[in-house]
Chains A and B, each alone.
Chain A
Amino acid sequence: MIKNKFFKRLIEKGVEAMLTLSGAVTSIIILFMCIFLFVEGFGLFKSSTVEEGYSIYVNSENPVSELSPQELKQIFDSEVTNWKEFGGKDQAIRVYRFDEIFKTYPEEEMGEDFSILPIVLGDVVRENEGIVAFLPTDFAPEANNGIKMIPADQISFSDFFLGEEWLPTATPSPLFGLMPLLLGTLLVSLLAISIALPLGLGVAIYLSELADERTRRFMKPVIELLAGIPSVVYGFFGLVVLAPIIQKTFNLPVGETALTGGVILAIMALPTIISIAEDAMRNTPREMREASLALGATKWQTIYKVIIPYSKSGISAAVVLGIGRAIGETMAVLMVTGNGAMIPGSVFDSVRTIPATIAAELGEAPFSGPHYQSLFLLGCVLFVITMVISVASEVISKKQNYKH
């Protein structure tokens, strides 16, 4: 008997310890993930604006001694072709990429370990006054007599947070501008929630207050089934069915727009919003309903004045979960918004969202390179956004409880 009791206590203790442990382990894992995310992400600000292992060289006759990433992009895309636009002489810019050396000198003539390469490259830079050369640092000529190196800065906070161009694989100078991605994400989520919220609340009110028992028993599982459909399937549906419809209705050149993404996300967020809001409304005590009706209020007045105010915190939880789903959703958005990384001017523009960017690019971003780190930093931004939203909702629902 005593032994049995002892055994029972032991099991109880064991279970208790396991529960505590699992709680602790979960918290530690979450903490580690956050630290990892932020450490990787902020590594971006230590990397150079020019592609790793490469430097930019000009002729020393050239008065220009600094070039920003944007200016480099303009030069190498031939958008700017004269040095005077960057404060230099009135002279044509000659863009020189490293590979060009092998057009004039075959690889075999470079000697053992390519020892002649820096000398040949040096001659090229020295002879062309208007040259800007993009060369690997290992084989670069020494920066003296006739050759000048353009120093590369580190990527700054404003380059990332205020940058308006996302060109992570551009050479010589990749551009990591958050703005188009952030605005794209916010636009799509805002569209989604402004479609899903009224619709979802409507359905929730109908299901909890107006529908008869049979309809409700049929509708609720069907709606919850919607939540179980994989997001790729939604994306496929959006691309094949919804995009052409939107293109025809609004007479647009292209159907993959922010609006298409918003509508798909709204459909995906609906089941969450409906079932949480409906549960909250059905939890309104019977006495409150009956009191309201007994005072002569109509059904609508009861819904409007009693049930919705009572279930406000549940509704706000539904909204937050809906927004959370919309902001973090990846696959469906990747397929339907067209992924054009530009600041959206209207809901009919193509947008590229943060999760879609991470999903599409992480696969082949070189490990621990600036591109890889910039994607982690995008993850940090996403994390901060969702945290702000959930804290805000917590505050809102607390405030409402005080009133009642």
Chain B
Amino acid sequence: MKKTMLVIISMLSLTLALNAQKIKGSDTVLPLSQKEAESYMKANPSGRVTVTGGGSGVGISALVDGTADIAQSSRRIKFMEKHKIKESGKTLREVIVAYDALAIVIHPSNPISNMTREQLEDIFTGKITNWKQVGGSDLKIVAYSRETSSGTYEFFKKSVLKDKNYVTGIMSLPATGAIIQSIGQTKGAIGYVGVAYLNPSVKPVSVSYDAGKTFIAPTIENARNKTYPVVRPLYYYYTKSDAKIKKYIDFVLSPAGQKLVAEMGYVKAN
């Protein structure tokens, strides 16, 4: 019994590997791609899509050496990566499948509700260490960050810290869930999470990117109408103009595919 199962499974995976569209890359995009692939295969029983994670950089290098058909990425392709793909004689195609908004969150008891980008930069680079320096109560600031391997870490560094390094010894946690848990139980805490993960145990703050003129709350609506500034596009990169790949990407961008995007808590691409 077990043997036949094993044989069937290995045969199945072999056939899968032969015709499947292989998607590889960012762990942020991974759950979305999985969901999309699932309903794509339900709608097209002949189509096969396999999705694996590993990080944006891993996906793009798999695209270069041809072990993946689509690279999913939570950041824009870097110039050097683009250059490598060009050198290997392929043409790069880029498509934005969704947007992900990052919310800045604090403990619910904290009276602060608006912050400027400059204040956030000073907090995460260690120049501001007490909430009273930004108009709050006399409380030490505890800043939480994601691990260095995360695409979210890189995006926050680029967008909010303007490429400066995080303060040495910043608290870093391996997952978004752990960040929410810690911020919910630490009075002076501040951190960043995807808008999809917001829940009542943390309080999101409105952010201003124009030095305090307008403060925008992190909501899906504000991210959609492009007023909320801390938003990053999620990309698919591919090189072949294959009909199968095109069919899958068309599905992701179709109303049915974009409905899944909204269900996952991301912002629709169109």
Contact of B178 among A99, A166, A239 (CB under 8 A): A239
Q: CA separation between A254 and B182, bound complex, in Å? A: 9
Q: CA separation between A138 and B83, bound complex, in Å? A: 10
Given the contacts A77-B164, A360-B174, A350 and B125 also touching, CB distance less than 8 Å: no
- Among B109-143, those with CB < 8 Å from A are 125, 139-140, 142
Contact of A364 among B57, B125, B169, B182 (CB under 8 A): B57
Given the contacts A98-B79, A136-B79, A360-B149, A244 and B55 also touching, CB distance less than 8 Å: no
Q: Is the CB of B168 within 8 A of A255?
A: no
Q: What per-residue 1/0 map shows which CB atoms of B44-57 lie under 8 Å from chain A?
A: 00000000001101
- Is residue B147 within 8 Å, beta carbon to beta carbon, of the partner chain? yes
- Is residue B181 within 8 Å, beta carbon to beta carbon, of the partner chain? yes
Contact of A361 among B142, B148, B170, B173 (CB under 8 A): B148
- Is residue A247 within 8 Å, beta carbon to beta carbon, of the partner chain? yes
* B-side interface residues, number (CB < 8 Å): 35
Min Cβ gap B55→A in Å is: 4
- Is residue B188 within 8 Å, beta carbon to beta carbon, of the partner chain? yes
Identify the closest chain B residue to A167 (Cβ).
B165
Q: CA separation between A352 and B172, bound complex, in Å? A: 9
Q: CA separation between A352 and B125, bound complex, in Å? A: 18
Q: CA separation between A240 and B180, bound complex, in Å? A: 11
Contact of B149 among A239, A240, A247, A361 (CB under 8 A): A361
The residues of B that contact A165 with a CB separation of less than 8 Å are 168
- Among A62-81, those with CB < 8 Å from B are 73, 76-78
Q: Is the CB of A73 within 8 A of B174?
A: no
Most buried by B among A171, A254, A334, A364: A364
Q: Is the CB of B83 within 8 A of A114?
A: yes
Q: Is the CB of B171 within 8 A of A350?
A: yes
Given the contacts A165-B168, A340-B171, A366-B57, A99 and B147 also touching, CB distance less than 8 Å: no
Q: What per-residue 1/0 map shows which CB atoms of A270-293 lie under 8 Å from chain B?
A: 000000000000000000000000
Given the contacts A334-B174, A335-B174, A243 and B185 also touching, CB distance less than 8 Å: yes
- A and B contact pairs by CB, cutoff 8 A, 12 listed: A76-B165, A244-B185, A253-B139, A253-B140, A254-B171, A255-B185, A338-B172, A341-B172, A342-B169, A361-B147, A361-B149, A363-B149
With A339-B173, A342-B168, A363-B55 known, 5 other A-B pairs at CB within 8 A are A97-B163, A253-B187, A338-B172, A340-B169, A364-B149
| B residues neighboring A (CB under 8 Å) | 54-55, 57-58, 79-80, 83, 86, 125, 139-140, 142, 147-150, 154, 163-165, 168-174, 178, 181-182, 185-189
| A residues neighboring B (CB under 8 Å) | 53, 73, 76-78, 97-99, 113-114, 136, 138, 165-171, 180, 239-240, 243-244, 247, 253-256, 334-335, 338-342, 350, 352, 360-361, 363-366
